[in-house]
Amino acid sequence: MAQLRQDHAEFVASGAEVVIVGPDNAEAFQEYFSEHDLPFVGLPDPEHRVLRLFGQQVNLFKAGRMPAQVVIDQQGIARYAHYGHSMSDIPENSEILEILRELHSEAFSAAAPA
Q: How far apart are CA 52 and CA 61, in angstroms?
A: 9
Q: Check residue 72 for interaction with another protein (CB under 8 A).
A: yes
Q: Does 105 sit near another protein (CB under 8 A)?
A: no
DSSP one-letter code for 95: H
Question: In this structure, are residues 45 and 21 in contact, taking their beta carbons and an 8 Å threshold?
Answer: yes
Closer to another protein at the Cβ: 14 or 114?
14
**Exposed, middle or buried by CB within 10 Å (0-12, 13-18, 19+), for 55?**
middle
Rounded to whole angstroms, how far apart are CA atoms 9 and 30?
21
Q: Are 44 and 22 in contact (CB under 8 A)?
A: yes
Interaction between residue 57 and another protein (CB under 8 A) = yes
Q: Cβ closer to another protein: 6 or 50?
A: 50
Say whether residue 8 binds another protein (CB under 8 A). no
Site for another protein in 12-41 (CB under 8 A): 14-24, 26, 28-30, 32-33, 41
Nearer to another protein, 17 or 37 (CB): 17
SS3 category, 15: coil
Q: Does 49 sit near another protein (CB under 8 A)?
A: yes
Given a contact cutoff of 8 angstroms between Cβ atoms, the answer to whether 17 and 106 are in contact is no
Q: Footprint of another protein on this chain (CB under 8 A)? A: 1, 4, 11, 14-24, 26, 28-30, 32-33, 41-45, 49-51, 53-54, 56-57, 59-60, 66-81, 87, 91, 95-96, 98-100, 102-104
